[in-house]
């Protein structure tokens, strides 16, 4: 299984491929990366499953561009199935997010498209895309007709912690200020499994939703979830990573997907501090992978700090596991 974390600006765009099967999760803010990746797909392959985790622009803009790109090329038949928790109607007044309505209009024009707009029905079951098994962990109820905030930015911005000493952040981390609602809380959380390897892809999920989903999964399976790779939610925001979440998983390899974001100061340096502070044992190294060099560089973490805290920070866009 090959996982690509596309350079899609300040958003998420993930392309999973294995044995000629393709799963695309979100399209990012920048639309070039996903269109270029689609053009590289062999002609005898299709997008077997397209997932829009939630309706924020930094996840959906690239999907709109991709569908338009496929439509222009006369290739919308190469899209087999979509998971998108949004009404299958064009005249829904209670929705104020234009991207959701625009994507809906485009999808309604595709003949034969299988569209699931209530992924909560998939909880407890397994969806197989070739050899890849997908488990939806959240949302746990139908969110398609729930109110979406007019301004996703109302979720709040973090202050700049890029220039704070890492030791200071480690000694003072807390989970007092967290992301609590809005569209992020409706993110589709996916556990992907292939040939014994497991990857957690939580979109921008809020801490409560993600923690509840992990606790339920662990209770059902009787053991903490062991992961080979986890994408940290919400582009490395410290407001979306908590001790409770780290306690529910066993994982040493994390991904942060975002271009340096000067508005929200993503990725937050405190997120790295939390991974160090909350881990089960300092003896096992933590590996964090960024899909942009500038997102790593802005943190200003020195080689000496990395060694002292047994953590590795690298730039990588592709993972074969």
Sheet (strand 189-194) strand order? 127-129, 132-138, 189-194, 197-201, 229-231, 253-256, 286-290, 311-315
pLDDT computed for residue 150 by the predictor = 45
Element (H, E) at 82: strand 81-84
Q: How confident is the model at residue 133 (pLDDT cuts 50, 70, 90)?
A: very high
Q: How far apart are CA 250 and CA 161, in angstroms?
A: 27
Mean per-residue pLDDT over the chain, rounded:
93
Specify the DSSP class assigned to residue 224. Answer: P
Contacts of 301 (CB under 8 A, 6+ apart): 166, 269, 272, 313
Q: What are the tokens at 230?
A: 């986890």
Residue 81 confidence class, pLDDT cut points 50, 70, 90: very high
pLDDT digits (tens, 9 = 90+) for 138-148: 999 999 888 55
pLDDT at 96: 43
CB contact at 8 A, 36 and 15:
no
Q: Answer yes or no: are the C-beta atoms of 117 and 84 closer than 8 Å.
A: yes
pLDDT for 94 equals 45
Per-residue pLDDT tens for 7-27? Answer: 999 999 999 999 999 999 999
Residue 92: pLDDT over 80: no
Q: Are 165 and 302 in contact (CB under 8 A)?
A: no
| Alpha helices by DSSP H, the chain | 32-39, 57-72, 98-108, 166-172, 207-221, 243-247, 269-278, 293-297, 303-308
Pairing of strands 127-129, 132-138: antiparallel
SS3 content of the chain, % helix, strand, coil (to 5): 35, 25, 45
The pLDDT value recorded for residue 95 is 42
Split at pLDDT 50, 70, 90, the class of 104 is very high
pLDDT 10s digits, 233-262 = 999 999 999 999 999 999 999 999 999 998
Residue 222, number of CB atoms within 10 A of its CB: 6
Q: Which of 161, 160, 166, 171 is nearest to 302 (CA)?
A: 166
Averaged pLDDT for residues 179-184: 87
The residue count for the chain: 321
Task: Compute the CA torsion angle 244, 262, 300, 321 (nearest 10 deg).
Answer: 60
Reduced to 3 states, what is the DSSP secondary structure of residue 100? helix
pLDDT for residue 154: 45
Q: Which residues pair with 199 in a beta bridge?
A: 192, 229
Structure token digits, residue 8: 């899609």
What domains can be seen in the chain, in order of their start residue?
Answer: 2-320 (3.60.15.10)
First-last CA distance in the chain: 6
């Amino acid at each position: 299984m090959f996982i690509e974390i596309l350079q899609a600006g300040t958003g998420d765009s993930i392309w999973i491929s294995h044995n000629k099967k393709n799963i695309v999760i979100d399209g990012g803010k920048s639309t070039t990366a996903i269109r270029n990746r689609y053009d590289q797909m062999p002609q005898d392959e299709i997008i077997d499953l397209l997932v829009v985790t939630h309706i924020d622009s930094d996840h959906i803009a690239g999907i709109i561009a991709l569908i338009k790109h496929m439509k222009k090329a006369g290739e919308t038949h190469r899209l087999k199935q979509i998971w998108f928790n949004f009404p299958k109607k064009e005249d829904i007044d209670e929705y104020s997010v234009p991207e959701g309505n625009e994507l809906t209009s485009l999808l309604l024009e595709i003949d034969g498209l299988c569209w699931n707009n209530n992924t909560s029905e998939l909880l407890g079951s397994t969806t197989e895309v070739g050899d890849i098994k997908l488990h939806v962990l959240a949302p746990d109820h139908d969110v398609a007709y729930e109110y979406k905030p007019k301004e996703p930015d109302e979720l709040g911005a973090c202050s700049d912690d890029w220039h704070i000493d890492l030791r200071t952040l480690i000694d003072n981390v807390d989970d007092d200020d967290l992301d609590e609602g809005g569209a992020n809380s409706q993110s589709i959380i996916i556990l992907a499994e292939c040939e014994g390897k497991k990857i957690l892809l939580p979109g921008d999920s809020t801490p409560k939703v993600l923690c509840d989903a992990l606790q339920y999964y662990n209770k059902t399976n009787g053991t903490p979830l062991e992961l080979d790779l986890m994408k940290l939610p919400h582009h490395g925001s410290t407001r979306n990573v908590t001790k409770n979440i780290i306690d529910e998983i066993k994982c040493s390899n994390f991904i942060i997907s975002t271009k340096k974001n000067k508005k929200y100061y993503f990725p937050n340096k405190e997120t790295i501090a939390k991974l160090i502070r909350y881990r089960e044992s300092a003896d096992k190294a933590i590996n964090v992978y960024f899909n942009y060099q500038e997102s790593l560089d802005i943190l200003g973490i020195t080689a000496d700090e990395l060694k002292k805290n047994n953590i590795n920070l690298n730039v990588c866009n592709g993972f074969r596991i």
